[in-house]
A and B are shown apart, each in its own frame.
Chain A
């Protein structure tokens, strides 16, 4: 045996013997971030893995939010669940009801002895994910809120001031008409997430209830009431604008067609999650983009309320070894550190979920350098949240959102009026709430 081979094999044997000392606890993390967001997320896991050598976080992409939730539930039933799963805000009601499946984050942090100060987080974010006793059940991670993107070049072409975005819906209609009639763009407005933006957030902004019992925060016996005057009026407007060609529908849920309409300069204004910012910056290369808060009806409310959040949080699932949860707690601490959060927020357009991360961004001069990047946070933190604007919490909200989308499509197709469509959505939605109540009590 040659010397090198000998030393190699000795080295190998030493390594093998030493392996147990380096044994790392694996923490599986299922998420729903694909493409650029997915890469940014993996960079966070990598950053944590490099920062210590006891734990390894293994992120796995599981498809859309709905698919990730379904996969986690199926895995839980088969006792193959991940330690952490990313669940969108719509799934919050479902997860909260599943007390036996969840290791609540406030308890998890206490068990692991990790310093954890919920007051450092943005109030609208923590409020959304707390139980009735004020305990936070899941770790805020990527929270967003809808904002308005607009095409400054088209505004200029239409003879409008590109620096002034429509503040109210009345202004939006006037400006939109000017854009279409001047031929600057064939369409004025498109929107992703009709349910989330044009119904849920619309209600919150105008301080109107979406459901009873404080929008579902008060218990399972809640009922929907989003077929009020304001919502009917708004849907009526959207239908009228759709007929006139001012508004173009981009599809249900995330509206696959809405973003392309904006990128191709077909529609001048685009309402979407603040997390769409990364995509807008990548795709809108031929024109200048303006950012603005969502418009409101100034005859309904003088000062619009805060908008409500979307996005997802991280839930720890039960059934793992104690050392895994210690690792999860350490990872959560890392994740919510100002540096990690500020970076994630600035790269993606998600909200900075802690005040420290927001302040760090201000110190770094990020908001001054990137005008419009603080629209989302200003919009969600303005005023004092009311019972109608602190968020919504309903079981099986995924199904309800699908129903609202369907009814909106029926409205656009002309088979129902706005009142009929919203009445029907409320009625069908209430049925789903009763199912959820029956299955969880």
Chain B
């Protein structure tokens, strides 16, 4: 554990070096966050003429609202599914590309392309493909006897946003996994092969543990991605519907605050969201990072 630490002999220098970052954090994160905390205790008309301090009413109302509790569980399902799906698929692709010696650059380039697409465009792309009226997939599925209609069926809508959100994130994960795989020393796997370990055994006992820092990093990034960055995708595909089936926490913050003009409730929701992410990150570093070998 000691090796992870760097000791500075000068007491002030580390703080000085941190100063620019601290200033940025203070202005662009801490200050707005405090503003959010402040408005989460208030009720205000949209134009901001009358502000009333109402203590915890925004919070108590939220937890009494079945839709908010529903949104919490939807977000959990969404975040876990997106993380697992996008990480597994990208690991599979990365391993496959890593095995191809000559053409792997071509594959890498092709696989990274989706990352350059803006979230809203991704959303519209999948919206088109899966659209029950004009989409190609529902048309083919109808031929197979499957009724596909995410406009009405909440589970199907959830599947749709999970696929759309994962598809975009696969490229990002893929890049890191390829880089991680290429840093696994060939000598280790060769030695294991000579000892008679098959490809699966070699992968799970040598490659995967050596990938653990990458995997851990991606785990945090992916959960944060699913919880925050998927706003554009949800907005363009389902807008949180049908009947709130895909209304994740971050989308609800937007819908209540910007469309519904309910600033107090929206602020309370963002504060809760912030606490959830802080907690998740803390748990990850506290318990999962111990199992990571650098």
Interface of A toward B, CB cutoff 8 Å: 66-67, 69-70, 73, 76-77, 94, 97-98, 100-101, 249-252, 257, 260-261, 264, 266, 396, 398-399, 402, 405-407, 409-410, 412-413, 415, 435, 438-440
Contact = CB atoms under 8 A, between A and B. Distances in A.
Contacts of B239: 252
Given A252-B241, A413-B153, A398 B259 contact: yes
B50 A409 contact: no
A406 B243 contact: yes
A249 B47 CA distance: 35
B134 interface: yes
Contact of A252 (B46, B133, B242): B242
A438 B51 CA distance: 11
B9 interface: no
9 contacts: A101-B47, A249-B152, A252-B241, A398-B261, A406-B243, A406-B244, A409-B152, A413-B154, A440-B45
B127 to A, nearest CB: 9
A412 B244 contact: no
B243 A73 contact: no
Contact of B46 (A94, A405, A409, A438): A94
A257 B151 contact: yes
B243 A435 contact: no
B243 A413 contact: yes
A371 B261 CA distance: 42
A98 B255 contact: no
Given A100-B49, A266-B133, A439-B50, A249 B151 contact: yes
Nearest to B241: A252
A438 B43 CA distance: 9
A70 B52 CA distance: 21
A12 to B, nearest CB: 45
B261 A77 contact: no
A260 B133 contact: yes
A77 B44 CA distance: 12
B261 A70 contact: yes
Nearest to A405: B241
Interface in B235-294: 239, 241-244, 255-256, 258-262
B43 A409 contact: no
Contacts of B48: 77
Interface in B201-239: 239
Interface string B59-76: 000000000000000000
B114 interface: no
B74 to A, nearest CB: 13
Contact of A100 (B47, B134, B154): B47
Given A252-B242, A439-B43, A94 B261 contact: yes
A243 to B, nearest CB: 11
Given A98-B49, A260-B134, A410 B262 contact: no
Given A73-B47, A98-B45, A402 B259 contact: yes
- B44, B151, B259: residue with the most chain A Cβ atoms closer than 10 Å: B151
B173 interface: no
Given A73-B261, A251-B151, A396-B261, A410 B45 contact: no
A410 B259 CA distance: 21
B44 A257 contact: no
B131 interface: yes
Nearest to B244: A406
Contacts of B260: 396, 398-399, 402
A412 B152 contact: yes
A260 B151 CA distance: 14
Contacts of B152: 249, 409, 412-413
Contacts of A66: 259
A316 to B, nearest CB: 14
4 closest A-B pairs by beta carbon, nearest first, are A409-B242, A409-B243, A399-B260, A257-B133
B151 A250 contact: yes
Nearest to A258: B133
Contact of B258 (A70, A260, A412, A413): A70
Contact of B47 (A77, A250, A261, A412): A77
A98 B47 contact: yes
A399 B242 contact: no
A413 B261 contact: no
B180 interface: no
A77 B11 CA distance: 45
A71 to B, nearest CB: 9
